[in-house]
Amino acid sequence: MAMRYPRDLDRFRTFYSIASETGRTLVISPKTAHLLSTLHCDTSLSLPDPLHDPLIKIYNRQLLREDSWMQPFLSSSVTSDYVRSHQKSLLLELDFYYLSELIDIRPSSGACIHSMSEPFEEDPLSTVSDVVLDNWMTRFSMSRHQLHASGHAPRSEIFRMISEINAKRVFPVHTLHPEMFKGAERVEKGKRIEL
């Protein structure tokens, strides 16, 4: 099983490649299928067409009511019965809200590649989500592997880089604490900065 942020298409490509290289079929949610179908026409993105790609199957979650946008993706979808009986040949890529599907899938063993940021102390919801995910993994005897390469550099690396390049001016823009950058110039929305 693999999990990623729903709109992280680079991570999707990674999981798609893993499925291809290991001879597995990638099972995705209708939401992911919808996103891929919408963006498939942009050839610069190099995304597969989920309705015609032999490496992709779309998971049909049993719902009391299905939204109309889902219809094209459910006509040839797979159910928990299919996933349960083909576990060894699939890479199941579903998000947090599909965890209850594990009850019907009944994984025999396996691992969850959790390719999302680790929870931040300031974000109690992500910490709760982590605990919930761990509980599901324990319940089904699945190992969890946290694999994520953040685009955020640690504070020490940022300060070292500023020092190494001997920056004449520093403009912190993606931080909650610009005051940590001694001598930095404050950036304000709409304010022009001459370089």
Domains and CATH numbers, the chain: 2-146 (3.40.50), 152-195 (no CATH)
Rounded to an integer, the average pLDDT of 10-17 is 94
pLDDT of residue 153: 75
Each residue of 36-70: b (16+ CB within 10 Å) or e? bbeebeeeeeebbebeebeebbbbbbeeeeeeeeb
Rounded to an integer, the average pLDDT of 83-94 is 95
Could you tell me if 107 and 136 are in contact, meaning their C-beta atoms sit under 8 angstroms apart? Answer: no
pLDDT of residue 66: 79
pLDDT of residue 16: 97
The pTM is what? 0.74
Rounded to an integer, the average pLDDT of 133-146 is 92
Residue-averaged pLDDT of the chain: 87
